[in-house]
Amino acid sequence: MELSQLIQNLMNGLAIGSVYAIFALGYTLVFSILGIINFAHGAVFTLGAYFTYTLVVGQFENNGLLKGINLFPDGSPFSGNPWLFALATLIGAAVAGLVAVLIERLAFRPMRSRGGDPLLALVSSLGVALVVVNLIQLLVGAEIYNFPSDAYGQVRPALSFHIGEKVVIIRTVQLIIFAVSLVMLALLGYVIGRTRVGKALRAVAENPGTASLLGISVDRFILITFFLSGFLGGLAGTLVGTAFGVAGPYFGVSYGLKGLAVIVLGGLGSIPGAVVGGLVIGLAEAFVPAQYSAYKDAVAFALLFVILLVRPQGLLGRAQIQKV
């Protein structure tokens, strides 16, 4: 492979891989605390993108019950300036976080208090996903919506530079996605590693029983976890939406499934594992040769299958010693 091609693939892989990472962290946070996989996480991702779009554009002109309603008849207060767009993105992610909290209250908490089969948590979270996805379709239709091209301000759509004879082109949006993801990962690392909330979260994750003995309100930390999880999912949704468009209500489904591959690859419940898993899968997809690009979507799952066979605890997970 030529150097220019290598750099281009590397950049593509890092950009999408870092989004996989922050999205998958949402799964991991919930798994590490409750030991369950929230299958509605893909739907929260989708919601994040739609919320931000609503703030930035204010209307869905094509289809659905909301067709023709314009939230901002005098123009959106969130457009035209990259900082305003960033604000809209954060609000969109925060609302997605609140939806995740709502999902916890409606679909997970009642089951926890009844001590139901954990498999049923899987079904109820999928039920929620079905509700969310179809509500979106009902409200705004199944069309693709694109963010305005100046969402990130008046920047050049792509950067290009020469390596020898070859031109390397990198989309600006990829650089932005990568940068934002890195900032988010650093922030999250700080919150979990250094703050009191983070320490308590880790304590709850280690052992919910002990944590409640220590006077930590487990329910409150579960809510915080779901908010963080939804926030990260929603943010990932907007980031992907700016790169590829908000591709309809089912837009989150394939990310939801790939996210599963990411967390298993990295090690279920491992926070650094989710980051490593995301980057590995992003890079692996970027380096699929052009003639096999149709098989790109299978790469994550092939890696998942292989890792489960050779190292079920994942790249960074700890092997569990079985108690007899």
Tell me the three state secondary structure of residue 2. coil
Q: How far apart are CA 64 and CA 72, in angstroms?
A: 18
CB of 317 to another protein, least distance (A): 11
- 24 lies in the binding site for another protein (CB under 8 A): no
Per DSSP, the residues of 76-120 read -TTSSSHHHHHHHHHHHHHHHHHHHHHHIIIIIHHHHHHT--HHH
Cβ–Cβ < 8 Å for 281, 11: no
Among the listed ranges 122-130, 177-185, 220-228, 273-281, the one in contact with another protein (CB under 8 A) is: 122-130
Report the site for another protein in 278-297 (rule: CB under 8 A). Answer: 294-295, 297
Cβ–Cβ < 8 Å for 257, 42: yes
Task: Look at residues 168, 130, 163 and name the one whose alpha carbon lies nearest to residue 10.
Answer: 168
**Which contiguous run of DSSP H or E holds residue 167?**
strand 166-171
- 114 lies in the binding site for another protein (CB under 8 A): yes
Pick from 90, 159, 175, 257 the residue near another protein by CB under 8 A: 257
- 110 lies in the binding site for another protein (CB under 8 A): yes
Task: Look at residues 282, 199, 224 and name the one whose alpha carbon lies nearest to residue 23.
Answer: 282
Query: Percentage helix, strand, coil, to 5, in the chain?
Result: 70, 5, 25
- 7 lies in the binding site for another protein (CB under 8 A): no
Pick from 19, 33, 37, 271 the residue near another protein by CB under 8 A: 37
Burial of 275 (0-12, 13-18, 19+ CB in 10 A): buried
What is the distance in angstroms between the CA of the first residue and the CA of the last residue of the chain? 51
- 236 lies in the binding site for another protein (CB under 8 A): no
Among the listed ranges 20-28, 192-200, 277-285, 308-316, the one in contact with another protein (CB under 8 A) is: 308-316
- 124 lies in the binding site for another protein (CB under 8 A): yes
Pick from 261, 262, 274, 275 the residue near another protein by CB under 8 A: 261
Choose between 204 and 260: whose C-beta lies nearer to another protein: 260
Among the listed ranges 69-77, 82-90, 134-142, 203-211, the one in contact with another protein (CB under 8 A) is: 134-142
Residues linked to residue 70 through DSSP beta bridges, in sequence order: 59
CA dihedral 136, 140, 145, 147 (to 10 degrees): -90
Query: Which amino acid appears at position 35 of this protein?
Result: G
Among the listed ranges 67-75, 121-129, 181-189, 220-228, the one in contact with another protein (CB under 8 A) is: 121-129
- 167 lies in the binding site for another protein (CB under 8 A): no
Pick from 15, 29, 107, 276 the residue near another protein by CB under 8 A: 107
- 192 lies in the binding site for another protein (CB under 8 A): no
Choose between 161 and 305: whose C-beta lies nearer to another protein: 305
Footprint of another protein (CB under 8 A)? 37, 39, 106-107, 110-111, 114, 116-117, 119-124, 126-132, 134-135, 137-138, 253, 257, 260-261, 264, 268, 294-295, 297-298, 301-302, 304-305, 308-309, 312, 321-322, 324
